[in-house]
Structure 1
Amino acid sequence: MAVKPVMTIDALEAFLAQEFPQINEGGPFYAVTEIEPGAAVLRLMPDRRHLRPGGTVSGPTLFALADLGAYVVILAHIGPVALAVTTNLTINFLRRPADGVPLYSRCRLLKLGKRLAVVDVIIVDKEGTIVAQASATYSIPPQTETAVK
């Protein structure tokens, strides 16, 4: 999908810091690293709070990375609509991610309509090995009612 982004990395980072400060509470864990037409990349630098027994990044952490990445790619293309919400997210865990290794949520818009957006998410490690794949659907409220000014 070749729709042009309407937000910069700096604008998205500022929005997330204002609306969702808890995602980076205790450290700079999440960062938007790329925005391009129809796509975005979100990086997670996991620490011990993101691990499960056995020393691997937990499933809930990977789920959150997929969900936040989908939110970022959508907002990058519609603007700062805080009340865009997940209506469905399905994730497939494919490989065990290593402890302490950055993970990247590579998100691609499949559909961006007035009321729904569908995103494909691939989570990779620093070598590009796919560790998870997700499909997310978001509900987009009317912008006149929910846009953050």
Structure 2
Amino acid sequence: MSSDVPDLVPQVVFVCRANGGRSVASRLLTEHYAQGRVRALSGGTEPGEHIHPEVAAVLEQLGLDTSRETPQLITVETVAASDVAITMGCGDACPWSPSTRMLDWPLDDPKGQDDATVRRIVADIDARVRALVAELVPGHELPPSVIEPRSA
């Protein structure tokens, strides 16, 4: 293969229980930072009817559009078709595939939490996603973090 032909775009799937908070934030942040260089999906083992409003509010405040987000059921096939699967709080219900690099991010559930707690969780996800995109797309210059710098 010629060196001027781009590599295939890596696919990462984020999995949590309801697909209403952590996985949605992870997918939206990945899309924001990767700028088309990573395909990001998300799903839940027991998807809810809508994303958590407290998570949507924080993501919207950070400039991420949640208007088209609808929780989806995750499948083993989706995990198997991905290069990386990141699980967040779905435990033994998380689908697994031997052909996929599996990672677990131990994150608090933002559902029903106050704004400061949701912001802390999203900031944790933001740092993890930035590191993941930098790993998956070496040399890609990441846009600045959407998380506002906090004074100490």
Q: Which has the higher helix share?
A: 2
TM-score (norm 1): 0.31
Q: Which has the higher strand share?
A: 1
